[in-house]
A and B are shown apart, each in its own frame.
Chain A
Amino acid sequence: EAQVTQNPRYLITVTGKKLTVTCSQNMNHEYMSWYRQDPGLGLRQIYYSMNVEVTDKGDVPEGYKVSRKEKRNFPLILESPSPNQTSLYFCASSLKPGGALVDTQYFGPGTRLTVL
C-alpha cells in the first residue's frame, strides 16, 4: 500500500530534550516536506527537500533541522525543543518537483507533539 508513515504519532517531552520525528514514504517520491498545523494558522511549511541531499527552508524553519540521506526518509529534528513548538506535524511527499504531479502531495497521519 502506497503511504507516508510518521513516528511517533504522539510525543510528550520536556524543554531542551532533543527529539527526532521520522517520516518514510514507499512511493519513490523525490519531493518531501514537513508542515506544522496550528489552530487558526492552517499548515505552515517548515522544510522541504527536492531530492536526496537537497533541502531548503520553508516559511517557519527556526528551531528545526532536517536531513535527506535516502530518498524514502526525511526525519525532522528538534535539537532543543521549546513549548512554542507544541503542534501537530505532518510529513508529505510528491512524485517530483517541477511537474504537474507535484501538485498532489500525499500526507502522513500526523505527529502530535507537546513540549512542556
Chain B
Amino acid sequence: GNSVTQMEGPVTLSEEAFLTINCTYTATGYPSLFWYVQYPGEGLQLLLKATKADDKGSNKGFEATYRKETTSFHLEKGSVQVSDSAVYFCALRSNDYKLSFGAGTTVTVRA
C-alpha cells in the first residue's frame, strides 16, 4: 500500500534560518504529492502540491520538488519567520481517492 515517511520532529529554528523537512514515499503508479500545514488550533491547509515528476510546487516562500528517482518531496524555505511555526504534513494521492499522510513535523521558529 501507499505510505509516507517524513522527518521526525520537533524542529526548532531561529528566524531567518533555512528550513528543510524531508519526505519520502512509497506508492504504486504515479502519485500526486502535497504538503499541508496546520497552524495551532486550526485544521489543515494545502501549502503546495506537485502532480508529476520534476514538478516544483511553491507557495509562501516554501518549495518542494517531486523527485521520482529518489521518491522524495522535501519541503524547503530559505528564511523562516515566527509565523511559520506550525505542524507540516507530507501527503500523497495515488490512483484512488484517498490521501495518505505522514506523521507530521512540528516546527517552532523563535524570534
Number of interface residues of A (CB under 8 A): 27
Q: Which applies to chain B's interface (DSSP): helix, strand, loop or mixed?
A: strand
Asked if A110 is at the interface (CB within 8 A of a chain B CB), the reply is yes
- Number of CB contacts from chain A to chain B under 8 A: 53
- Bound Cα distance from A43 to B104, whole angstroms: 9
Within 8 A of A (CB), among B91-109: 93, 97-99, 101-104
Contact B93 A103 (CB under 8 A): yes
Q: Which of B32, B49, B98, B104 meets A45, CB within 8 Å?
A: B98
Chain B contact patch, size range: 20 to 34
Query: A37's closest neighbor in chain B, by CB?
Result: B104
Is B42 part of the contact surface with A, judged by Cβ < 8 Å? yes
Contact A31–B46 (Cβ < 8 Å) = no
Complex CA distance for A59 and B15, rounded to whole angstroms: 38
Tell whether A61 is near chain B: CB-to-CB under 8 Å: no
**Is B43 in contact with A108, judged by CB distance below 8 angstroms?**
yes
Task: Write the nearest CB–CB distance from B39 to chain A, whole angstroms.
Answer: 11
- Between-chain CB contacts (< 8 Å), 26 pairs: A4-B43, A31-B97, A33-B99, A35-B101, A42-B4, A42-B101, A42-B102, A43-B89, A43-B101, A44-B101, A50-B97, A59-B98, A90-B44, A92-B43, A97-B97, A102-B93, A103-B32, A103-B46, A103-B49, A103-B93, A104-B46, A105-B44, A105-B46, A105-B99, A108-B43, A110-B42
